[in-house]
Chains A and B, each alone.
Chain A
């Protein structure tokens, strides 16, 4: 199984994409920057004002003289609070708007990706991008971005302040930089793989717990408890070990930053000593330089620790941009229009992988309004044929026509207007039940929805839900049973109202008693449409207009149920096993 992940953007392309997103908010971003700059500047006034109070006391000024610097301190505090509040709010707004634009573009493209490509990438790839990567970026925008911009501004302005005192203080302070750069590079090199290992370990642990706890009944029945406790212990221990190794790494990171702090501080103090000795600066200036440098400890630690988050966010961005920039599938310039609801497959061969052909020349006609049941063992190619007709894959050779028009000429939009595929994979979309149904038909009135539900026999239980049609269902909402979810899928089908329907195992998972309810619903949903039904229960085949038996990628029998039973072939044997009335010995 060759896995081919979805595209990832190059670092250059990612930066460009970020820039393009930012450009739309350029003016706002500049204002945000200036306000933050002003806030940081005002903040730096606190230290000299406190110094001024000390000076006034030393100079034995009258008691009232300290009122002015205190008032200034209060003003500075209020100004800094207001400016910082406004500035971070602006930064957050710019960030959030960029994020919203990015995720919307991503989802738009992701939903239009050809299913074939999504399946080749493995179902987890797209899901991981849409949940994990978007979360990583959102976290970065919400937490890292404001903290990083504040810290960087403080660092830059403080270094500027040190330089104003005397440029030689700045040189001394910068002695810490090589150690910091080296530390960050060392950390980034090790932290990436370390966090990847941690994610894998935590993921494996989570999987194991779901595996074990979700199957508690099976574990007890087969008396596998000890084995499973060992499995949980093993996976959990690995996660613990990786977390502790990661802790070693980041504690070392902070240790090295402490070293940089000491080197810088010692250098500034030594510079102060030399400059004061030579009479170049006053003791007060040397004090200010040392205190300024001490004030840098926190912002530097914050900024450097965020390098990590920034890296993770860039990697996630690259994955989002990669998908967001995938060109949408091409629609034919002049889409063909099907003449009727017929389906014709002629000479269809298909291989998922070179040399492993699963369909060997299928010829199949479905007349408008005809219901054809497809019967055969697993691996006979039933699902593949269904997918080819629904346009999810293109046959390796041969043509499939809908109403006389080849699938390629219809284009993705044309195919989905004509053919609806209902698979065994039922999904209830999170949100009000009415919204779920309206995916199939956005303009449906409540009466339409009620009618569709009634036809599939779901109206009674929908009415009994706490808020009827407005009940929130799906993930995080009211949980529907498998059979209810399938009834919902059939109601969507009625609302979408396509001329042609392909049903693949749509009643398979509900259990045999539930299956019967669904068969009734299916009959109602198929009324008036051409249908290809991948049949599991032979009762489905019995009810169809025609039965086509598939064996090893070939059509081996075709005819009505009665004809095939009478013919005494493949199908007849099967039917015999089903309806067998022999007495047991």
Chain B
């Protein structure tokens, strides 16, 4: 359908991640500096303990004691404050990078060219903008630790090699295989425990699912069955978590033993070298200490590595949305003068529509009956320019929608979908941003009644996506919003499916009244709405198969009667 995909620039996950880092490089560098200083401070503390014992306690110098305690205090101040400011900078880098990605994603999804949502559920997109954005940002938190760890490893290596080349080499060459061994030890268990963690998570998933279906369970009287079933899930999940805890204990215990054995080997080699007199005792103590210290930065490095893998995966998912091919491209034309509201489909073919011609005169209230719901959706997609039809054109006032600027096209012709979503905010704020014509629109849509039933009337704040209202109430408020927008052409899709028959009859009259003189197309099978239409067209097999008034069609057209009146 889109021939524009090739022109859209492709964004890769690598670019998203690099952008997130370079956008925050000041904070990341500052954090790396802070963490390095903190790490150095941590490493110096045990050395200073040795110095205090050597210089003051062993030598009985009270003056020196105070001097060295003072220095110790200074070191603590440096390590503490460098961590504090480093961590804050890292936090800022992480949060802000996630924030920018979030806004970028929202902007892409809302881009008038569309296309970002295709094939993705809304929840999935939202979780990209929260979870995945956060994970990409989190790499900015990990990276400074990684830089500091590299610095720590280099400094340790130099220090070790200066003390003794063989001992230094033993520690430096021994540590990476140790970590690799740990990784190896952990991998099969990790893989197994991941599957088991999933099963463990299942227990809470099932519980949440049962609770959210509580009304259905109660309606069926199925509480006992559900409880029994949950108990079984919970026990399975318990067995799985116990297995995965066992795997984790084996890994942790193994790591502890390996570390201890490595330390013993360093002590053995160092002790022999010292006993032979090739290194000093100081060098032996330093080597043992540094071997222990080195594990810290190296473990950090492997953590940074796993954060990187996660961030890359998230960045790739984000990139695929950011570079999703647009569904349609904007045109350049504008209407000259006010829009009269003449709508024409000329030879349109698209997903079930077959070379269809359809016309609505300015000011006409046109009913469209499409017994096949897929046809109705295809028609609305073409009218709303969510897609461009494979062949044919959709025109308003004889100008093709595809040649118009987005603002012009959507300003002239408004589609109010069947499941039109409301937003968090006051009821009146949902209907109109400036209050124009709200009262009339509310009354016409029967939404004034909705407002009266709410504690604070039209000022009542609706929750996310208007969920605090019932389906019928939501539908009426959404209809009021479409009416208040007062566009030259309004296309409504099944606007009253969740509304009771009494109210629906009122809405039909209100709709006719408020849209007088403006073009309105109602795609519906509701007889109440069709009976107020100036003209009704029936679309069967992708083409207009009949037209006339509701009364005439109901009397003469058997297919119409089946679709509308039974």
A and B, one complex? yes
Chain A contacts of B200 at CB under 8 A? 138
Chain B contacts of A99 at CB under 8 A? 238
Q: Check if A214 sits within 8 Å of B122, measured CB to CB.
A: yes
Any B CB within 8 A of the CB of A416: yes
Any B CB within 8 A of the CB of A413: yes
| A143→B415 CA distance, assembly (Å) | 52
Within 8 A of B (CB), among A355-391: 375-379, 390
Any B CB within 8 A of the CB of A185: no
Any B CB within 8 A of the CB of A528: no
Any A CB within 8 A of the CB of B163: no
Within 8 A of B (CB), among A69-104: 69-70, 73-74, 76-78, 80-86, 88-89, 92-93, 96-97, 99-100, 103-104
Q: Check if B500 sits within 8 Å of A376, measured CB to CB.
A: yes
| A377→B114 CA distance, assembly (Å) | 39
Q: Check if A496 sits within 8 Å of B99, measured CB to CB.
A: no
Q: Check if B421 sits within 8 Å of A214, measured CB to CB.
A: yes
Q: Check if B256 sits within 8 Å of A84, measured CB to CB.
A: yes
| A67→B264 CA distance, assembly (Å) | 10
Please list the 7 inter-chain residue pairs (A to B) with the smallest Cβ-Cβ separation, ordered nearest first.
A77-B260, A85-B253, A416-B221, A81-B257, A427-B213, A215-B421, A214-B122
Q: Which one of B105, B109, B234, B505 has the greatest number of beta carbons of chain A within 10 Å?
A: B109
Q: Check if B261 sits within 8 Å of A66, measured CB to CB.
A: no
Any B CB within 8 A of the CB of A209: yes
| A232→B527 CA distance, assembly (Å) | 41
Q: Check if B250 sits within 8 Å of A85, measured CB to CB.
A: yes
Residues 103-134 of A, flagged 1 when their CB comes within 8 A of B and 0 if not, give 11011101110010010000000110011001
A270, A377, A515: the one contacting B497 at CB < 8 Å is A515
Q: Check if A82 sits within 8 Å of B213, measured CB to CB.
A: no
Complex interface: stretch among A257-265, A339-347, A394-402, A560-568: A257-265
| Distance from B402 Cβ to chain A, minimum over Cβ atoms (Å) | 16
| A410→B330 CA distance, assembly (Å) | 66
Within 8 A of A (CB), among B205-251: 205-223, 225-231, 234-235, 237-238, 241-242, 245-246, 248-250
Chain A contacts of B298 at CB under 8 A? none
Q: Known interface pairs A439-B220, A513-B525. Does A213 touch B245 (Cβ–Cβ under 8 Å)?
A: no
Any B CB within 8 A of the CB of A273: yes
Q: Known interface pairs A221-B414, A440-B220, A511-B494. Does A580 touch B551 (Cβ–Cβ under 8 Å)?
A: yes
Q: Known interface pairs A413-B221, A511-B494, A577-B508. Does A217 touch B49 (Cβ–Cβ under 8 Å)?
A: no
Any B CB within 8 A of the CB of A505: yes
Within 8 A of A (CB), among B47-62: 49, 52-53, 56-58, 60, 62
Q: Check if B471 sits within 8 Å of A509, measured CB to CB.
A: yes
A210, A244, A579: the one contacting B565 at CB < 8 Å is A579
Q: Known interface pairs A294-B45, A509-B498. Does A63 touch B276 (Cβ–Cβ under 8 Å)?
A: yes
Complex interface: stretch among A160-168, A283-291, A457-465: A283-291
Within 8 A of B (CB), among A41-88: 46, 50, 53-54, 56-58, 60-63, 66-67, 69-70, 73-74, 76-78, 80-86, 88
Any A CB within 8 A of the CB of B449: yes
| A255→B84 CA distance, assembly (Å) | 7
Chain B binding site: helix, strand, loop or mixed by DSSP? helix
Residues 564-585 of A, flagged 1 when their CB comes within 8 A of B and 0 if not, give 0000000001100111111110
Complex interface: stretch among A176-184, A235-243, A304-312, A447-455: A235-243
Chain B contacts of A578 at CB under 8 A? 501, 505, 527-528, 531, 565
Q: Check if B386 sits within 8 Å of A217, measured CB to CB.
A: yes
Q: Check if B204 sits within 8 Å of A225, measured CB to CB.
A: no
Chain A contacts of B208 at CB under 8 A? 127, 130-131
Any B CB within 8 A of the CB of A227: yes
B62, B220, B268, B501: the one contacting A537 at CB < 8 Å is B501
Complex interface: stretch among B6-14, B88-96, B165-173, B344-352: B88-96
Any A CB within 8 A of the CB of B443: no
Q: Which one of B219, B424, B481 has the greatest number of beta carbons of chain A within 10 Å?
A: B219
Given A46-B263, A85-B254, 6 other A-B residues pairs in contact with their CB atoms under 8 A: A70-B271, A212-B109, A232-B102, A233-B103, A505-B471, A579-B565
Within 8 A of B (CB), among A493-525: 493, 496, 505, 508-516
Chain B contacts of A261 at CB under 8 A? 76
Q: Check if A213 sits within 8 Å of B260, measured CB to CB.
A: no
Any B CB within 8 A of the CB of A37: no
Any B CB within 8 A of the CB of A208: yes
Within 8 A of A (CB), among B372-419: 372-373, 376, 384, 386, 407, 410-411, 414-418
| A516→B527 CA distance, assembly (Å) | 14
B57, B230, B417: the one contacting A283 at CB < 8 Å is B57
Q: Check if A581 sits within 8 Å of B226, measured CB to CB.
A: no
Q: Check if B220 sits within 8 Å of A430, measured CB to CB.
A: no
Any B CB within 8 A of the CB of A11: no
Chain A contacts of B226 at CB under 8 A? 111, 439
Any A CB within 8 A of the CB of B284: yes
Q: Check if A57 sits within 8 Å of B217, measured CB to CB.
A: no
| A89→B102 CA distance, assembly (Å) | 40
A84, A111, A291, A577: the one contacting B505 at CB < 8 Å is A577
Q: Check if B465 sits within 8 Å of A254, measured CB to CB.
A: no
| A134→B116 CA distance, assembly (Å) | 35
Chain B contacts of A280 at CB under 8 A? none
| A63→B275 CA distance, assembly (Å) | 6
Q: Which residue of B lies closest to A512 (CB)?
A: B525
Any B CB within 8 A of the CB of A467: no
Q: Check if B253 sits within 8 Å of A81, measured CB to CB.
A: yes
Q: Check if B264 sits within 8 Å of A77, measured CB to CB.
A: yes
| Distance from B233 Cβ to chain A, minimum over Cβ atoms (Å) | 9
| A564→B250 CA distance, assembly (Å) | 77
Q: Check if A269 sits within 8 Å of B212, measured CB to CB.
A: no
Complex interface: stretch among B16-24, B124-132, B151-159, B335-343: B124-132
Chain A contacts of B260 at CB under 8 A? 46, 73-74, 76-78, 80-81
Complex interface: stretch among B65-73, B299-307, B310-318, B537-545: B65-73
Any B CB within 8 A of the CB of A219: yes
Q: Check if A283 sits within 8 Å of B53, measured CB to CB.
A: yes
Can you report 7 A-B residue pairs in the complex whose CB atoms are below 8 A from each other? A81-B258, A85-B253, A107-B207, A134-B207, A258-B80, A423-B219, A580-B531
Q: Check if B211 sits within 8 Å of A216, measured CB to CB.
A: no
Chain B contacts of A206 at CB under 8 A? 126, 130
| A514→B263 CA distance, assembly (Å) | 72
| Distance from A21 Cβ to chain B, minimum over Cβ atoms (Å) | 13
Q: Which residue of B lies closest to A383 (CB)?
A: B470
| A74→B57 CA distance, assembly (Å) | 32
Q: Check if B65 sits within 8 Å of A269, measured CB to CB.
A: yes
Residues 526-566 of B, flagged 1 when their CB comes within 8 A of A and 0 if not, give 11100101110000000000000111101100000000011
Q: Which residue of B lies closest to A495 (CB)?
A: B220
Any A CB within 8 A of the CB of B459: no
A82, A291, A513, A581: the one contacting B253 at CB < 8 Å is A82
Q: Known interface pairs A115-B215, A213-B126, A273-B62. Does A475 touch B220 (Cβ–Cβ under 8 Å)?
A: no
Q: Which one of A291, A423, A440 has the greatest number of beta carbons of chain B within 10 Å?
A: A440
B237, B252, B373, B485: the one contacting A85 at CB < 8 Å is B252
| A126→B215 CA distance, assembly (Å) | 13
